[in-house]
Structure 1
Amino acid sequence: MEHPDRIFLRDHVLSAEIGAFQSERGHAQRLRFNLTVDLRDTVAGAGDHVDLVLSYDVLTQAVETALADQRYNLVETLAERIAAEVLAHPRAACIAVTVEKLDRGPGALGVSILRHRGRVAATGVAAPVSILLHAPGAALPEGAVVILPQVAAEPTGGPHARRLALLALDRAAWTLGGDLAVEVAETRTELDAAIQLCQPVIWAPTRLAMDAEAAGQTPAALAFWLAGRLGAGRIDVAGPAADPLPTVPDGLDVTVARVVPATA
């Protein structure tokens, strides 16, 4: 049996904050990445044209995208995310991913996984997606839409104010999910799955956004942050027509529109 053609990335070392222990929070540690990809087609037919092969940049970008997406407790989860990123490309058939922590012991500690195309959910969003800042009485849209309740958290001070604000949004999300009989998502994988099925999903933001200070803590700020992550083209804001619409951050290509709820 012939072995498939392969490309690889070896001994790629980056620093990132990762880990489930409290001692690992707030401190970057070195991670070493090794990726080997079995190609669907032989490179013999590429004719020395770079556009006809799987670029090595796909491997490095998969690592960078996964690290930028969220803070991870487990290297296992990070490895899965990297595998899904690479296998979203049609020229990739199978991938082996090894992620090692270099600063947690006398040697390298890590995980190796092997994933095949078709057995891992790709992370690329196949359907257009919008975001709805929900208010009571707002109609539930059809298609791929991420719903975020507009709830103003009670003002608090201290080092845990942002966490409390996000947890208030989580509580509102789960309550709204029960009221509307709509699934609630906490992870990027759950969001991507709903988007690929072209169905609405309510986002409970704490798990994804807690360690991303740039995400902010208000519904509008979180909506813009998530729009950038998902490539959402539109944010609908439910509320009275007289209320001002949030300003789109510089560099974000998204349309903001008003939705007037039936009870407004």
Structure 2
Amino acid sequence: MINDSKLAFDTLEVRSIASARGQPLDRISVRDYMKSVEIGAFQTERGIRQELRFNVVLEVSRHDGAQTDDVDVVLSYDKITEAIEVELETERLNLLETLAERVAERILQHSMAVRVFVRIEKTERGPGSLGVEILRVRDDDRIKDAGVLVRPVVVFLPNHVVEGDQLSEWLNMLEEIDAPTLLCVEPLLAVPFLGAAEPDQRLQLLGIEQTAWRLAARDARCVVVGTRTELDWAFKNRQMSVWAPSRIVMDAVDQPRGDDPIGLTLWFGQAFNAQCVWGCGNVKDDRLKLMQLPKVL
């Protein structure tokens, strides 16, 4: 822990040196990396871009790259900028704290990474810079868990299945699938358009979420999930889940259309690397492969 208050606003390199313990580590830094980003928790911050400044110092384990002059031996600063770019492209975020955490976590996945300082600042929110700074240390157990990729099976349930007498039979069949199952649904009733882009998008998504909760009420096996954290837990624990799409869709960098439930289902399958995407029952859409209940002889 750094106790000297004069270090609080010093460069990350100085802070890294001051807090070092044991054998010195090599450091890789990216300074004043500027990006124009849509980020923020307030409604007034949606639809506008803000300038962010990234400063990152990464401490790495010792290597002989300097002696061999071999670029393949060192951890390149490109790994830092790639981590920033990937996290910015993944989804729209509300908090700088979340962005810093995800950038740090991605950087620390590299086997040579030991400790990373990440500072992110908004440069246009006032007369000065507003920002956050975090320090994270590599945790091999956590990285091992993060490296386990669980691929769900995504299934579209049309209204005649959700409201039908054979719902339990459909869910019994889906429970037999040897993979976590994510159910996608459509609005029970047509959602009127208001002619305003964001309100219309949100209303369409809320129509889908009403059906999701209706399905959960009909069968307790169907658990409504709406965030990436909930989805990650559900997939790892083989939970049958129903997707409430508002949060993830509205935070997507390239938003899919909320008035196309099947297109939304296919988008989810691609975004979350699903094993496959199926439709149940009589779905008249060539984009989906269909499954049917087995006939009882």
Q: Which band: TM-score by shorter chain?
A: 0.7 to 0.9
User: Deviations along 1:25-54, whole A, 9 cap, x unmatched?
Assistant: 221110111222233x32226954444443
Q: What is residue 62 of structure 2 aligned with on the other side?
A: 42
Q: What residue in structure 1 maps to residue 269 of structure 2?
A: 227
Answer yes or no: is the 8 Å Cα contact 2:65–2:71 preserved in 1: no
Task: Check the 8 A contact 1:146/1:201 in 2, yes or no.
Answer: yes
* Residues 126 and 195, structure 1, Cα contact 8 Å, conserved in 2: no
1:170: which partner in 2?
A: 209
Give the whole-Å Cα distance in 2 for the aligned partners of 1:130 and 1:45: 44
Seen in structure 2, the aligned counterparts of structure 1 residues 115 and 200 have a Cα distance that, compared at 3 Å, is farther
Aligned residues: 252
Task: State yes or no: 1:260 paired with 2:296.
Answer: no
**Equivalent pair of 1:131/1:147 in contact (CA under 8 Å):** yes
TM-score, scaled relative to structure 2 = 0.73
Q: Distance in 2 between matches of 1:50 and 1:234?
A: 39
> Shift in Å at residue 104 of structure 1?
0.2
Once the two structures are aligned, what percentage of the paired residues are identical?
Answer: 37
Give 5+ residue unaligned stretches, structure 2: 1-21
Does 2:124 align with 1:85?
Answer: no
Paired letter, 1:164: L
In structure 2, distance between residues paired with 1:31 and 1:109: 10
- Are 1:243 and 2:266 counterparts? no
Residue 186 to residue 97, structure 1, CA distance change in 2 (3 Å): farther
Within 5 Å, give how 1:191-206 maps onto structure 2.
191-206=231-246
Give the drift of 1:78: 1.6
Residues 1:55 and 1:204: Cα distance change in structure 2 (over 3 Å)? farther
Question: Is the deviation greater in 45-54 or in 26-35?
Answer: 45-54
1:155 is matched by which residue type in structure 2? V
Amino acid at match of 1:244: D
Determine helix, strand or coil for the equivalent of 2:127.
Answer: coil
Deviations 1:41-99 (A, max 9, x none): 32226954444443433322222222222222211122222223223333333322211
Q: Does structure 2 conserve the Cα–Cα contact (< 8 Å) formed by 1:4 and 1:38?
A: yes
Answer whether contact 2:151 2:272 (CA < 8 A) is retained.
no
Q: Is this contact kept in 2: 1:186–1:204, CA < 8 A? A: yes
More helix by share: 2
- Cross-structure match for 2:150: 127
Partner in structure 2 of residue 8 of structure 1:
29
Residues 214 and 114 of structure 1: is their aligned pair in 2 closer, same or farther, counting only changes over 3 Å?
same
How large is the Cα RMSD of the aligned pairs?
2.9
> Residues 227 and 58 of structure 1: is their aligned pair in 2 closer, same or farther, counting only changes over 3 Å?
farther
Q: Which moved more, 1:96-105 or 1:82-91?
A: 82-91
Question: Contact 1:123–1:192 (CA<8 Å) still a contact in 2?
Answer: no
3-state SS in 1 of match to 2:64: helix
Q: Which residue of 2 aligns with 1:157?
A: 193
